[in-house]
Amino acid sequence: MRSNYWNIGKFADWVRGTPGGGAKSSEDWAQWRIDAQTKHPWRYWLVEEGFDWAQRTLGWPYYRYRDLRAYVLNRWVTRSHMMVAHPRDIKPGTWCDVSHRFLPCLFNSLVDFIEVETAWDHVLWDKEARAKYKPPRWARSFNWRSPEAGIARLEWAADLHYDADDVANGGGPLNEPTPQAVSAREVLALYRWWTVTRPARPDVYEASGFSGLDRHLFGNTKDPVEKAKVRAALDLMTQLEDQYETEDEEMMIRLIKIRNSLWT
């Protein structure tokens, strides 16, 4: 994908003889093409076909270099073809069943999306955001991380509502949140659950009281009181584990449902 096109801009408009700027609907753009071709057919062809051919031809070495650079970065730096758990979630060198990989791999990808991709998108297009979050000069979209910038971008999106112009152009009800806002709110909720709420969940061994019991009593004591304590602790521990498992599964499902909104 090109970052700029030679057939777009003031010079192209001058050669074509028909300005092409401004926001238009698909129907308006179709009509603009018809009008531009009718008014200056050869000049239209020169800009739309000739300029494009010249850019492809003259820019071929650069585009091949850019493609190679993107391949190297995607393959060995960002590894965008992979989902990898953070070492704090799955310690490197340890075995982890597939069933336990899904949750950390999915949510670590969400964290990277917010703290890297969304953060970079926020400072890339906003001069005030660049001044506030101060990405280093060497920073790129794959090596700069800022949870604050990523969250700020999502909070901005979460506050988007339909205005009068949107309603006039077929949008939703006035002042209702846009689909982008609804998605941003859900992404933020899942991110905060994974980074704040879930790590703060009480440990099942501690919360159940099992860690404070003499473990030698398990299966060995005949004292009914002690057996009751052990059984109660085990039951509570199982109950908490089931609650955590149910919550984890629910959050994974919610993440899967919004996967199509995770792009920048």
pTM for this prediction: 0.79
Q: What digits encode the pLDDT tens for the residues 34-70? A: 999 999 999 999 999 999 999 999 999 999 998 998 8
Q: Which amino acid is at 191?
A: Y
Q: What digits encode the pLDDT tens for the residues 200-235? A: 999 998 998 877 776 665 556 667 777 788 788 889
- At 59, is the secondary structure helix, strand, or coil? coil
Work out the burial of residue 71: count CB atoms within 10 Å of its CB; fewer than 13 is exposed, 13-18 middle, 19 or more buried: exposed
Whole-angstrom Cα distance, residue 122 to residue 184?
14
Among all chains, which residue has been given the structure tokens 């509570």?
236
Ranges of H-type helices in 25-146:
26-39, 41-45, 52-58, 60-72, 98-112, 119-124, 127-133
Whole-angstrom Cα distance, residue 48 to residue 16?
8
What is the pLDDT at residue 23? 65
Q: What digits encode the pLDDT tens for the residues 162-187? A: 988 888 888 889 999 999 999 999 99
> What is residue 178's DSSP assignment?
P
The mean pLDDT value for 11-39 works out to 84
> Which of 75-84, 110-119, 136-145 reaches the highest mean pLDDT?
110-119
What residues does each domain of the chain span?
203-264
